[in-house]
């Protein structure tokens, strides 16, 4: 890719993707590419009582690398990936200690390393059974940055998810009724300002659960009920805004 810009100059951003089939079940893959992002209008010029843009921002650049393996068997599909991102001049909104205004600035060298495991398992094929729980999905990701938001708060770049784990399952009660379950665990880096105390507090890890019940009432229609945050968990995920508690929605899906 080539970027032509009268303000930031002309640059090339090469990339390569490679894959190799060891056999019918296992495939290795790797990739490397460079990318860039120019600051947008809000980051450059936006001004409000709580936010101030920076017209002198530079474009951010990154080199992204990953390597992994995909394993497909009779009862599961599993992917394991290692990745690394080396970034420079990363654009973020920063709130310095003692300041009341979020300001945009470039963060210098920032390296992100991590890995992810994703697997979808057919329980009945695994145990050669006829259990009501059919498919089980597992996803785990871990990220680590070489910098922390010491002395300031980061709105986006440095307050990343350190750990993200989810497990899901679908339950086929009968030919018409299906129940989907999902539980998610998150642990986020950094902190936020508590409006009640005015102090910066760290993000706390949390679990949330959700479910969806689907019923095929007729040939071409499905009734459903979704319940998110099933146990009405109080938590702050990002920023200093408390997230919503238990909420539900119901509907019908009709295929014409």
Interval 4-27 mean pLDDT: 84
Average pLDDT of the residues in 185-193: 86
Q: Does pLDDT of 243 surpass 90?
A: no
pLDDT tens-digit series, residues 195-208: 777 777 888 999 99
| Greatest mean pLDDT range, 125-134, 193-202, 229-238 | 229-238
- pLDDT tens-digit map of 94-131: 888 778 899 999 988 899 999 999 999 998 888 887 87
Mean pLDDT, the chain, whole residue set: 89
pLDDT at 1 exceeding the cut of 80: no
Q: What are the strands, taking DSSP E only, across the chain?
A: 2-3, 11-12, 15-21, 26-37, 51-52, 60-72, 76-88, 90-96, 102-107, 110-122, 133-145, 152-154, 161-172, 177-188, 191-193, 200-202, 206-218, 221-228, 247-254
Across 16-30, average pLDDT: 96
Higher local confidence (pLDDT), 4 or 125: 125
pLDDT exceeds 70 at position 7: no
Map out the domains of the chain with their CATH numbers.
13-254 (2.40.170.20)
Q: Residue 8 has what pLDDT?
A: 62
The pLDDT assigned to 195 comes to: 73
């Amino acid at each position: 890719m080539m970027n032509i810009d009268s303000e930031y100059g002309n640059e090339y951003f090469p990339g390569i993707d490679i894959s190799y089939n060891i056999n019918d079940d296992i495939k290795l893959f790797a990739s490397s590419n460079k990318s860039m992002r120019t600051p947008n209008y809000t980051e450059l010029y936006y001004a409000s009582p709580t936010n101030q843009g920076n017209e002198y921002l530079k474009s951010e650049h990154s080199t992204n690398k990953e390597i992994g393996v995909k394993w497909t068997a009779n009862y599961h599909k599993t992917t394991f990936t290692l990745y690394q991102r080396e970034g420079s001049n990363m654009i973020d909104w920063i709130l310095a200690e003692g300041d009341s205004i979020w300001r945009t600035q470039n963060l210098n060298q920032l390296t992100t390393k991590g890995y992810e495991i994703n697997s979808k398992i057919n329980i009945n094929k695994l145990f050669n059974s006829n259990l009501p729980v059919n498919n089980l999905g597992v996803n785990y990701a871990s990220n680590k940055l070489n910098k922390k938001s010491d002395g300031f708060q980061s709105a986006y770049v440095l307050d990343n998810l350190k750990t993200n784990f989810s497990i899901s399952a679908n339950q086929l009660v009968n030919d018409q009724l299906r129940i989907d379950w999902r539980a998610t665990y998150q642990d986020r880096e950094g902190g936020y300002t508590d409006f009640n105390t005015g102090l910066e507090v760290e993000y706390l890890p949390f679990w949330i659960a959700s479910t969806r019940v689907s019923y095929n009432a007729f040939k071409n229609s499905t009734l459903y009920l979704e319940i998110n945050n099933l146990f009405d968990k109080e938590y702050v995920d990002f920023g200093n805004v408390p997230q919503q508690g238990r909420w539900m929605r119901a509907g019908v899906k009709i295929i014409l």
